[in-house]
């Protein structure tokens, strides 16, 4: 009887310990800001875009269209854009390679080449930085029509 009680007690302690760790993990997943509160984040850079989506509307196939996504570093540390990637080779980007000081602004130039495309197009641009959060997504849209 004492042996069964001891096993039950140990299992209860293990269960409570596992549940407690699980809550910490779910807090981070459900509230990414909690990472910063737990000092996991090392940067106080903050990127703020004027807009994260642009619709070119109707364009003709073969047309190249560009848009500049404007942003500011509203944080306390220098902002460094490490990479900017696209979902398709039809979309190219140009972005600042040098760090931006707090209060400075910049642009990410996005060019979409509609050659070989038709219909509704949605392209996602992923911006990786040292900011919190470290990833931002921009979207361009166009409706490509045949000439």
Per residue in 56-67, pLDDT (tens digit) is 999 999 999 999
- Determine, yes or no, domain membership for 106: yes
Residue 64 lies in domain: 47-145
Distance linking the first and last C-alpha atoms of the chain: 85
> What letters, b where the CB count within 10 A reaches 16 and e where it falls short, cover 54-87?
bebeebeeebebebebebbbebebbbbbeebebe
Task: Tell whether the torsion through CA atoms of 100, 102, 106 and 110 is positive or negative.
Answer: positive
State whether 32 and 55 are in the same domain. no
List pLDDT tens digits, range 84-140. 999 999 999 999 999 999 999 999 999 999 999 999 999 999 999 999 899 999 999
Where residue 107 sits, what CATH number does that domain have?
2.60.40.10
Residue 134's φ and ψ, nearest 5 degrees, are: -80, -15
Q: Assess if residue 42 is contained within a domain.
A: no
């Amino acid at each position: 009887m004492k042996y069964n009680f001891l096993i039950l007690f140990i299992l209860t302690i293990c269960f409570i310990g596992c549940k407690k760790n699980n809550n910490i993990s779910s807090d981070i997943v459900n509230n990414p800001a909690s990472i910063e509160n737990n000092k996991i984040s090392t940067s106080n850079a903050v990127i703020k875009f004027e807009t994260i989506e642009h619709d070119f509307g109707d364009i003709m196939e073969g047309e190249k269209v560009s848009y500049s996504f404007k942003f500011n570093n509203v944080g306390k540390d220098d902002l460094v854009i490490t990479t900017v990637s696209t979902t398709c080779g039809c979309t190219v980007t140009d972005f600042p390679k040098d760090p931006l000081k707090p209060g400075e602004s910049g642009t990410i130039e996005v060019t979409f080449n509609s050659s070989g495309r038709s219909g509704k197009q949605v392209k996602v641009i992923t911006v990786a930085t040292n900011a919190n959060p470290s990833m931002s997504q921009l979207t361009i849209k166009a409706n490509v029509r045949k000439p």
